[in-house]
Every structure is written in structure tokens, then in C-alpha cells.
A and B are shown apart, each in its own frame.
Chain A
């Protein structure tokens, strides 16, 4: 039965991906180049990806030896040897606003905002600012099907941490659309894939018109309601209305690209098809419907790598130019016993109390994360784009908002940016900054390199020297 079902849906699905009706967002096609100034690749899009690693790092095994272009990668960073020319490893950065408040939440919540989250068990949840990926999405998102993509592997943490009086919600969000609207991560790769690549086929125009009718109707109702409500309630309805406006923009963007599906490069289609199958294989369900509706519970490494491939394909097809990915929620207790030499949960091990065996396990977990990062860089470099590869115009940051997880130390945070060399980043270096240099400076560099105006972010008013 299971086989029969999976055969049944796979066949038309492949046809769909290759068929006449496929309506993927218009990617930046090599075929379209002739329309532009010959040989110029300056109008290729620049993208930003932010990869978040929970629970900090083993501090004495993170920082490379030496600086400038002559550096020796540390044990944790050794998996990146192959990519050293693409790296900018930064030492000495911090997010000052995360110093107040104990524990993890204030660091995670403010990683990309540079602000201090409100200490609350729920009545006034706020990050204090917009996260840098969402600042980018506001400006870059106009060009793509999705303004941004938020991916993760773990569901939103529930409950209140009564020890420190924060809602655990803060541990599960790094992307903040506004100061008071956190964006949850999509953790189901099938849902994420379909959202990106499997949209309307036949009858697309009618579908789009229907969707728009529904949205028009309910937004009118929301506006009527809103006028009768108190302030907090009005604010919730405003979120609703803003969401409607954004979905409407997306539908319009899709309608505009209808019929352009045949232009997808065969390589991209092939990779999409491969990822499509890989997701099914990893999830091990009987049908696509089951995949859509299940809590993903499979090999963590494969889960992470699929999420990275999704970002890679989303960039390649120009479905979005901004992504964030959480390897896990902060304070995650994920059991890393699947790694050789590791026996226990991530958060537990990160509180190593300088015990030799635990430090060793902590390091192994850190290195595993770096290996996954290296995988994503590798994949992006395989894709040709313009006169280089996909990574050349994509800045992929990787890091954690705390350094030593044992003491929750927020100074000198571990952070790397890879790629973006053809967008203007001067990669291939280990840069050592004066202690206390704002991490937000780096975010400004990345935003400006992507053509996003960013004068001030958190405690930074300027980018860091030596980066772009």
C-alpha cells in the first residue's frame, strides 16, 4: 500500500517540476544575461544567510592562531580548511546589549537585533528592535517570491523559565520582523520545500484570483474590527493585516512570473528533483501528505543538511535573498550521543565546569556544527553563477551569541562570515579586533554589501574596518 501510494504521487510530481505549468519564482537565468550589459555581473543578486549555533563554543579551541591572511585554523574550525580563502573569521566582537540579564535568552533574542529583549513571562514580549535579516528582507525582499526564509530543526520551546523569568519563546527565535513580532522557524523540510518550489500549476491564475478574493474580503473585515479595539488588541490585528499585505504581494509576484517556468536551468531542476526525493527518503513517510503533517524526527545531520540545501536552492532560484537557520533552539538538550566520543545532551555538556572529558565532548559537538557549515559552503561553491559561483555573492554567517557556554560569556563571540568575495567582502582573513567591538558593525557591513541601507544598528553606527 505504502509503495503504491508513493509511486502514485511521485510520478505526476516529477512531471510537475518539469512540466509546462511549473511556476517557480523567476530565477536569475544565464539565458537572460544578453538583456543586460555584456559581461557585467554587477546586477546578480547578493544574498545573506545567518546560521545560528546554540550553546556557545569551547573557547580555547575556537580562535585561529595568527591574524590577517596568515592564520592557522583552530581544532574546531579545522573542517573549513578547504574554504579558508572564503572565510572572514572575526575575533573580539560582542553585542553589548546582551550583557544585562542572566542565562541564554537575552543573548539569543538580541543576536541579530543588537538590542536587549524585554524580560517577561509573556505580557510584553519584545526584542527591542528589528533583526538585521529582516532589515535586509524589507529592502531585498521586494525582488523575490519570499522576502526571507527562517528555518530550524526544533519546535518553539514552550513554557516559562521560572528560574530567570523569561518566556522560553525567546530561545527559539532570532528573526524579528518587528520589535514585537518574532518569526518562528519552519522545521519541516517538506513544508519548506513546497513553500519555495511547489506552487501553482494549471489554473494558477484562477487560484491566485481566488486567494486574492479571500484576502481582500478578510482584510476589509479586519479593518472594521480594528477600529473598535483597545491598543494591544489593535496591535494584534495590525500584525494580521500586515501579514495579509505580504501574502498578497507574494501572490502578485507569482502571478507576474506565471508561464516563465520553462526557463529554469536544467541543472537547477535536477537539483530540486534530487532534494525533493532526498526529503522523502529522510522523512521515511508513506505519502507526501504524511510528510507535510509530521513532526520531523530523523537523523539530525541530514535534517540540517537538507535545510542548508533548501537555502542554497532558494538563493540559486532567486526565490529569496535572505535566510536564517537555527541548528537548534538555545538551551537545546539535544542528545549528541550519535557522535563518536559524545555521550549526552548539548546544553548539559556545554556546562563543562572545565572537566576534561566534557570539554572534549563540547569541542566535538562544536566541530560537528562547523562540518555542517563547511558542507553548505561546499554545496554553494558547486553552483556556477556569472563569472564565479553561488557563494561568491552570498554572505553566509555562522556563529553563536555566547562564547563559553559554561559561563554564558557574551564577550568575544564566535562568528565567521564566508563568501561574498565578488560582492565586495575581503575574505581569506582572521581579523582581530579590540575587545568590545560591536558585533552589529559586522551586520552593518553585510547589509551594506548587499546594497541595504543601514546607518545604525544596536551599538554600531558604522561597519567594521577591513571587511568590505
Chain B
């Protein structure tokens, strides 16, 4: 007991110690009714609640809370067959305490913290984009780097999840060589890179200094020091003395820039004696450019940073708008939306069975991916409302994709904006990339599509299935005379499954008219008519994607909150903490205040306290 008390006190330290209704009311109830299955010893379903021993601890573990409150309120938990069940009053008390913590989260009723991002190595995409912008290289020297894993909100730009290992170091070395060779192979290119050359007025060391100062400032995204330049100039001098030409002597110093830690890592300095501070202008330029371009700051950003003007609110806003309009901002669609919505899987992971779906050609794969990228980027570029992600009367297609969608009059390989007359198709839910990525090789998966809507789109993931829950046949060509949906219905009658599946599956049923590569169908693989009638708990019914989308739009708070949370997570490159929830609330408010326009969300993220500040503690 005393140990737990001590732990509670310790974890309270950053917050003001005060009367704690949660510890007094909720914790004893959790201990009494929940610890047996979800405590230190056992964590059924991966859920543990024994850490929830104070309001502060509850804030830190807020991701579980909404779910716990809901399950307790609906009587799903504790399960009916437990010997010890809480009274209605106890249920209400526990739910109240949890909800009051959740309320605090939204309103920000706690000391704010801008958070602390772990130093970020450039990921594979960022490396390629950065080298392109730094040295004008058009091939992707980092293409053979291993792909990066994800952390935080699910993005591959989280410092904690980006590692360096010897194999990667070898690749950095090889890539740097390739880049420098490409520059040296083209005299015109080399001329642009060697911004200074020795002459009568300029001794070689002076020219080398000028050239390296230029490129090091760009590569390190900050003002460089003599300490930074000295080793490079030393190497230059060594080669020059050994009889190499000026050009030859510059080769290795230039190459070293691309392996330098100041290039490969996005480093932010700490400020001694402070608990939090605004990041400096160069750090801000770097945050901005990797958020909006997944690449280095351009010369204008660096110049503004050098003048100390970038942090000026009007300048920051103007620069963000300028950057949004730049073609480089297409990385928001590719990397941010691609990883958030999962259509990035189309590039490498999704694997429809090409015998069953011969239409799924490599070019269609690319067109599907591009449709989702172009659509998302259009929302940003044209400043469209965020809700068009759910429903729109247009999309982007080329000839091959238009044929899949049964839209006439579109030919050729180029994607273009296409008007939609069918209300079932518009928005990301009707996009082939997403419908394919949420299917299995040989069939649709209403469960995966339902989970995608709950988890990816709305940010409310269902709890995991029990491990031996069983699954459905991998192919929907059923042998027992049952339609695929009938098989699924049988599975759903199991008591342990029904609770969640009655929330998940209907969402997917409503999309059953889309086959496993996103084509509209009225009969399934067994030749039976598609049954897309869906009933959600509370007798909410719908029978096609258009109706489902209407339902989603009728209460858009969860969706907007999730979109805002994901964008903030991507921009910050760190896992979001409880104190960020209040920022998310602010983002949604800003979005609503400006007719849900996408650019207002991007600007709100850029102007948010965690984007502009850094803290000494997480």
C-alpha cells in the first residue's frame, strides 16, 4: 500500500497536489472489480488498469479511459459471469470519475507542456527529398535504405523509432559517394556546387571556405561555426598539399556533409535553466519544412531564420502559406495522409490475388495510390473543407481507374479531376486504394473495413479480439451454400465476439457493394446479391456507402478530432501525450471557426504551442 502511495506521489510531482477524487473513488472500485483480470499479474486483452491510481495517472493513460468508461457503463465489463459485480451506483461513480478526467483533458485544465521531441534521424523519404533539394540530385540515393518503422501516432518520422545501425551507416557512405560522383560527372553541375574557385584574388583555402560554408549552412540547416568547418578544411588542405587539384580536394569534404550527424539528425538545442522555451528560428524553419515538405528549409526560410524574423507570427503564417502552395507540399498527401489513412500500403504491402483480379495491374496499383494522394493534396491546395474527406462530388482518375469506377469519358494515363455523379463513390471511403488496402487477397473484409472506419478515420479503435476468436474463410467463394455474410453472422453470434462486432461489422457491411479492389458490384463472388443492409446498435440503419457517409457527417467531432490529432502527431514527430489533447481541442476549434478549411488546420498546427516550443521534460 505504502509503495503504491509513494508511486502515486512521485507521478504527481509535476502537477499541483490536490484533492484527488479519482484516487479516492475510482481507484478502489477498479481495484475491487478489475485488478483480477487487468492488474499487475494478468492483463487480459492487453488491458491493465492498476496504473490508474490517481487523476494524474489517469491523465497519462487517457487512451484507455473512454473505452473503460463505455464498457463499464454498458455493462460489458466486468463480464456477467464474474462473481463480484459492481452495483449501479458504483458503475455510475466510476464512469463519472473517468469522464471528469476526460473532460479535463479536453479543456486543458492542467499545467500545459509543449513536450520534447527526441532527436530525429532523417527517414528514408526525408533523406531523398533533402539530398534532392541540397544538391539538385534527381535520382533517389536512399532508395536502398531499409524502410523505417513507425512510432507515436503511426508515422515513420518519430525520433524514438528511428535507429542507426552499421548497415545503414554503410549505406549512408555509399549514397554520399554516389551523390558526389553524380555532381563531379557533370561539369555544369560541379560548377554550380563549387560556388567559389581559387583565383588571383582568392587563395584556394579561401575559396574552399566559402564553398563549404555555403553547403554546410544548407546541409546543417543552421549557422555553422569554425569548429564545424575546421575538420573539412583540414582535409581539403591535406589533399591540396598532396598535389590534388582544388576540385579533387573538395570532393571528400563535400561528401562528408552527407554523412555528418548535423545533416542526418534534426538536432534541437536545450536551453539551460529553463523548463520550456521557443525553439530558435533555424529549428523552427526545420520543423516547418519537414512538416510541410518532408525536406530541408529552402533559402528563403533560412534567410528569414538568419534575420530572426521567422518566429514573427505574421511571417510564420505567410511562410506556411507559401510553402503549402509549393509543389513540395505534395508530401503531405504522400507521407502524412498515406500513412494515416493507410493507402501507403498500396505501394508495397497490398497484395490482391491477380488470378482472381486480373484487372489489378501494376499501373492500376499506381493510379489508385495517386488518386488518394492527389485528392488529399487538392483538399489542401484548394483549401477545401475537411469533411470532403468523407464525402465529395469529385475525385481524381485516369483512364484505367475510371474504367474500374465505370466512369465514362476519361482516357489516357494522366490523372485528372473527375466529377462524380454517384454519391456512393466520393470521399476516401470510396477510394480504391483504401478499399483494396482494407481487403484480403481474395475477398473483402467487412471487419477490416469496419475497423478502419472506427480506428483510422474516427480514432476510436475497437479492443483486440480474443486470440482464439476464430476467423472467416480466406476466400469468399463459400462451399457450404452460405453467403459470406451469412458465415460472418454465425461467427458474430458467439457472445464473446458479439459485443464488439455489432459495432464494427455493420460499418463494413454498408461497403459490401465495393469488391476487394474497390469496384462496384451488386452480386458477390458466389453470384448472390450483395446484402449491404447494416444496423448499428441503437437501431441506426443504412444500406449503402452514401448513407453511411451521411451518418458520419451528421456527427463529425470524432473525425475532426482524429484528423487534428494525426496531423499534430505527424508535425511534431513524437508520440502525443495527455497534455497534447488540449491542443487538439484548440485545433478543432480553429478548424470549425474557419468553415473546416484544410489550410486553417495546417496553420493552426504550425501556430500551436508545441510546434513552436520545446520543453526540458517529456
A residues with CB within 8 A of B:
100-103, 119-125, 147, 150, 155-160, 162-165, 167-169, 172, 177, 180-188, 191, 195, 210-211, 213-215, 217-218, 220-222, 224-225, 228-230, 232-233, 236-237, 239-240, 242-244, 246-247, 250, 292-293, 295, 333-335, 337, 343-345, 348-349, 351, 353-355, 357-358, 361, 406-408
Contacts and interface: CB of A to CB of B under 8 A. Distances in A.
B165 A333 contact: no
3 closest Cβ pairs, A-B complex = A122-B151, A344-B474, A353-B470
7 contacts: A121-B575, A163-B465, A167-B161, A169-B150, A191-B144, A242-B166, A358-B474
A221 to B, nearest CB: 6
Contacts of A229: 119, 267, 270
A351 B471 contact: yes
A156 B471 contact: no
Point out which of A100, A156, A349 has the most chain B C-beta atoms below 10 A from its C-beta: A156
B498 interface: no
A444 to B, nearest CB: 25
Contact of A221 (B118, B150, B228, B351): B228
A127 to B, nearest CB: 12
Given A181-B165, A210-B252, 12 more contacts: A122-B160, A123-B575, A217-B235, A221-B262, A229-B267, A232-B159, A237-B265, A250-B166, A333-B351, A335-B351, A337-B353, A351-B470
Point out which of A214, A220, A349 has the most chain B C-beta atoms below 10 A from its C-beta: A214
Interface size classification for chain B: 35 or more
Contact of A406 (B116, B119, B470, B618): B470
A436 B339 CA distance: 41
Given A167-B149, A345-B441, A221 B170 contact: no
Contacts of B147: 155-156, 158, 184
Interface stretch (B83-91, B455-463, B531-539): B455-463
A103 to B, nearest CB: 7
Nearest to A214: B256
Given A247-B166, A247-B169, A344-B474, A121 B151 contact: yes
A239 B339 contact: no
| B interface SS class | loop
Interface string B32-49: 000000000001011000
A185 B149 CA distance: 12
A406 B468 contact: yes
B425 interface: no
B474 A349 contact: yes
A159 B488 CA distance: 27
Nearest to A243: B169
A254 to B, nearest CB: 12
A236 B121 contact: yes
B465 to A, nearest CB: 8
Interface of B: 43, 45-46, 63, 116, 118-119, 121, 140, 143-144, 146-154, 156, 158-170, 173, 176, 227-228, 231-232, 235, 252-253, 255-256, 259-262, 264-265, 267, 269-270, 339, 342, 344, 348-349, 351, 353, 355, 440-442, 455, 461-465, 467-471, 473-475, 479, 574-575, 616, 618
B231 A217 contact: yes
A374 to B, nearest CB: 26
Contact of A337 (B164, B253, B260, B355): B355
Contacts of B152: 121-123, 160
B149 A169 contact: yes
B159 A236 contact: yes
A111 to B, nearest CB: 17
Contacts of B150: 122, 158-160, 167-169
B76 to A, nearest CB: 17
Contacts of B255: 210, 214
B267 A122 contact: no
Contacts of A125: 151, 160-161
Contact of A222 (B159, B261, B473, B479): B261
Nearest to B344: A158
A156 B124 CA distance: 12
Given A163-B463, A237-B261, A214 B143 contact: no
Contact of A124 (B160, B165, B265, B269): B160
A210 to B, nearest CB: 6
Contacts of B342: 159
Nearest to B251: A210
Nearest to A231: B118
Contacts of B153: 160
Given A125-B161, A236-B118, A225 B261 contact: yes
